[in-house]
Amino acid sequence: MSHIKHLRWQCRRGAKELDALLCAYLEQSYMNADKAEQAQFIALLRLEDNLLLSYFFAYKTPQTAELKLIVEKVRASVIS
């Protein structure tokens, strides 16, 4: 469970919009995701806020298919 606490802390960013997106995915989808998706989410958390903002709100496309998929899943976690 300390792993989830650490991830929750990493989801807290400088922008409330990012906090909402990342925390929603963590709470709703992360535990049910397979190991590959969990790894992609952790990789996503390593990115800088300005890049995350461009992926989520400026709809810029990530360079890898895996990163693009996790960005789409994080976006969907807020809608569902």
Q: What is the DSSP string of 20-80?
A: HHHHHHHHHTGGGS-HHHHHHHHHHHTS-HHHHHHHHTS-PPPSSHHHHHHHHHHHHHHH-
Q: What pLDDT, on a 0 to 100 scale, did the predictor assign at position 1?
A: 63
Q: What pLDDT, on a 0 to 100 scale, did the predictor assign at position 24?
A: 95
Summarize pLDDT for 10-38 with one digit per residue, the tens: 999 989 999 999 999 999 999 999 999 99
Q: What pLDDT, on a 0 to 100 scale, did the predictor assign at position 59?
A: 82
The number of domains in the chain is: 1
Given a cut of 70, is residue 64 above it in pLDDT? yes
Q: Average pLDDT over the chain, rounded to whole?
A: 93
Name the residue among 46, 56, 50, 58 with its Cα closest to residue 24.
Answer: 56
Q: What pLDDT, on a 0 to 100 scale, did the predictor assign at position 79?
A: 75
Query: What's the domain range around 29?
Result: 2-79
H/E element holding 2?
Answer: helix 2-11
Q: What pLDDT, on a 0 to 100 scale, did the predictor assign at position 80?
A: 62
